[in-house]
Amino acid sequence: MSSTDDYQPLHGGDHAPGDEPVGRHEIAEGVVGYLVGLGLAILLTASSFFIAGTALVWHPSIPIALVVLAVAQIGVHLVFFLHITTGPDNFNNVLALAFGVLIVFLIMVGSLWIMYNMNQNMAPMAMPMG
Amino acid sequence: MTAFQAGAGYSDGRREEARRPAAIALDHSDPESKRIIVGFGFWIFLLSDIIMFSAFFATYAVLSGETAGGPSGKDLFDLHNVAIETACLLLSSFTCGLAAIGARAHNGLMYYGGMAATGVLGLGFLAIEIHEFVGLIAQGAGPTRSAFLSAFFTLVGCHGVHVTLGILWLLTMIAQVFAKGYRADILRRVLCFALFWHTLDIIWVAIFTVVYLFGAGA
């Protein structure tokens, strides 16, 4: 199997995660894609660090803003660096990602929810023992 | 992907290269190229790695307030260092992308230059992280001090181990392309390495938000 064979989906079907979409083989175009991703990521990162240390915004809103910025940046990384897009040739990659996100969500929210409730219920017992 | 299974009954071990006639294939499309199958399989592995990290994140989030009377994140974290670490990883993700383009275009300058820059930036990240860990342990804030610090060292340390392994893989890929050229199987490994490196950056985005920015602001 020659190396050029390996890049072409046989009938334009799927493409591998991380690969450029078929037809964008020119170096300059690829570099521009990564540059756009880098610019957006720098913008979002700088916003995150700025908001975390600023007194300009209402304080309780900061954690929510940080989560939104982080999710946006992860989206930028997925699209511009890993080339996970919503195109029809990317369906399997997106489907796997969606399942991964579901499991991550269940683990994070489930753990926090259960442990918060257990902490609440344990609080009265801890007092006399301490 | 389903068409791939149509050839599963053949024991010649060369299924990926088999292009079965329509009479044999159960599906109407041909098997995917090996590069797509390898990339997809590695993507599944990366998602499972992310799920493992999510368990560490959940542990950290639950334990982040349990300082046992010891220092909290607000006392310990130095956001200047974290900003430099973030810049290192972000730029290394970019140079890794350049290297991937260079590999596809068989452009030695882009490939070796991109990989070398990625390695240097990765080492810079590791150096700052190790310096931070050593400093924390020296001031009595090691992983045994409190549940918060145990969870912190586990989560951030696990990411650091991934970066270390990534750098070893990076050096291997430089050597393999140098020794064997831009062969299809080598380029598939370069693809997987690039995916791995970009994923480390995604996990770092979650770490600097959840651990450092939340911790320093709390």
- Of B39, B51, B98, Cβ closest to residue A34: B98
- Place B4 in a pLDDT band, splitting at 50, 70 and 90: very low
Residues lower than pLDDT 50 in chain A:
1-5, 9-12, 22-24, 129-130
Total-model pTM:
0.83
Structural domains counted in chain B: 1
Torsion of CA B209, B211, B214, B215, to 10 degrees: -150
Q: What is the CATH number of the domain that holds B104?
A: 1.20.120.80
pLDDT of B31 reads: 61
Residue B66 has pLDDT above 80, yes or no: yes
pLDDT of A53 reads: 81
CB contacts, 8 Å: B201 with chain A: 77, 81
CB contact under 8 A, B191 and A53: no
Number of other CB atoms surrounding residue B197 within 10 Å: 28
CB contact under 8 A, A107 and B55: yes
Smallest CA–CA distance from B190 into chain A, residue: A18
CB contacts, 8 Å: B55 with chain A: 107
Sort residue B140 into left (φ over 0), alpha (ψ -120 to 50) or beta: left
Is residue B10 in a domain?
Answer: no
CA gap B115, B98 in Å, rounded: 8
User: Do residues B54 and A101 lie in contact, with contact meaning Cβ atoms separated by under 8 Å?
Assistant: no
Burial class (CB in 10 A: 0-12, 13-18, 19+), B124: middle
Is residue B65 in a domain?
Answer: yes
CA gap B201, A2 in Å, rounded: 32
Is residue B201 in a domain?
Answer: yes
Q: In the block, which residue shows the tokens 């368990």?
A: B55
Q: Within a 13 Å sphere around the CA of B40, how many CA atoms are in the beta-carbon half?
A: 18
pLDDT in tens, B15-51: 444 444 444 445 545 566 888 899 999 999 999 999 9
Is residue B28 in a domain?
Answer: no
CA gap B5, B18 in Å, rounded: 12
B24 in helix, strand or coil? Answer: coil
User: Do residues B204 and B213 lie in contact, with contact meaning Cβ atoms separated by under 8 Å?
Assistant: no
Q: What is the 3-state secondary structure (H, E, C) of A81-127?
A: HCCCCCCHHHHHHHHHHHHHHHHHHHHHHHHHHHHHHHHHHHHHHHH
Is residue B183 in a domain?
Answer: yes
pLDDT in tens, B167-193: 999 999 999 999 999 999 999 999 999
Q: Which domain holds residue B113?
A: 50-217
Is residue B198 in a domain?
Answer: yes
Mutation for testing the A interface, residue in B5, B28, B35 having most A CBs under 10 Å: B35
